[in-house]
Homo-oligomer: A and B are copies of this chain.
Amino acid sequence: MLKKPARPNFGQIAPDVICLGVWTGDEMVLPRAARTQRRTRIQEEKEEQILEAALEVFSANGFRGSTIDQIADVAGMSKPNLLYYFRTKEAMHRALIDRVLDTWLDPLRAFDAEGNPVAEIRSYIRRKLEMARDFPRESRLFANEVLQGAPHIVGELKGPLKQLVDEKAEVIRSWAKAGKIAKCDPYHLIFAIWSTTQHYADFDVQVRAVLGQENAGEGRFEDAARFLERLFVDGLQVRE
């Protein structure tokens, strides 16, 4: 028992469709969004809501382990409604990765060649630990992805990420050459800082289980910071 729409209509045009018009007589009529080139208030809000929910779910279950229904639930909207904004599960995941990757790499970008080496390394560790504490979901999102072979982000890893690391590795190498820190492989140094700090986000359950109820409070980040700063600063000091 189908009912014709009362008036002609462009029909369902998802927010991510760039342009789609209809011929009326001999001129093409574009939908409003295509004319104004602007996203609706509702679009901004809903996409925000969805990405927040997607982060929650993807980071906890990985891509394949997450379902659109779960995300819709967390976002507080119906599944088809969610699919109106992101047409596939992949699209949501991609949008999320794109949004998060940049801020995730910020601490490394802040690594300053002109600064004091020891102070730079120390503050890099501290910043990474703060991110592990304040944005564990973002960390787990990437961890899940990389762990399962990074099917959706290999490009980013081999491109922008490698480039950035290459650049910073050169800085570290120059510090070592100038005798400001011990000679060491800069790449493995960066890996070591990444792994030790992100460990507190990615393996949080394990860390808390091992520390036990009494020591698993927020203080663990301070303890970790103290230990890691000491380890890296002393471990990288020049020795003869």
Partner-B contacts on A (CB < 8 A)? 60-65, 140, 143-144, 146-150, 154, 157-158, 161-162, 165, 182, 184-185, 187-192, 194-196, 198-200, 202-203, 205-207, 209-212, 215, 223-224, 226-228, 230-232, 234-237, 239
Contact = CB atoms under 8 A, between A and B. Distances in A.
Given A147-B203, A158-B209, A185 B231 contact: no
Given A158-B209, A162-B209, A188-B228, 19 more contacts: A60-B149, A62-B64, A62-B148, A64-B64, A143-B147, A144-B148, A149-B205, A150-B206, A150-B209, A157-B206, A184-B230, A185-B223, A187-B210, A188-B224, A191-B203, A192-B228, A195-B195, A195-B198, A234-B237
A154 B205 contact: yes
A206 B63 CA distance: 18
30 contacts: A61-B64, A63-B65, A65-B65, A140-B147, A143-B143, A143-B202, A143-B203, A146-B206, A147-B147, A147-B202, A154-B205, A157-B210, A158-B209, A161-B206, A161-B210, A165-B210, A185-B223, A185-B227, A188-B223, A188-B224, A188-B227, A188-B228, A191-B203, A192-B196, A232-B235, A234-B235, A234-B236, A234-B239, A235-B235, A235-B236
B192 A231 contact: yes
Contact of A195 (B63, B189, B196, B239): B196
Contacts of A149: 60, 205
Contacts of A182: 230, 234
A65 to B, nearest CB: 3
A199 B202 CA distance: 11
Contacts of A143: 143, 147, 202-203
A82 to B, nearest CB: 20
Contact of A187 (B147, B161, B215, B231): B215
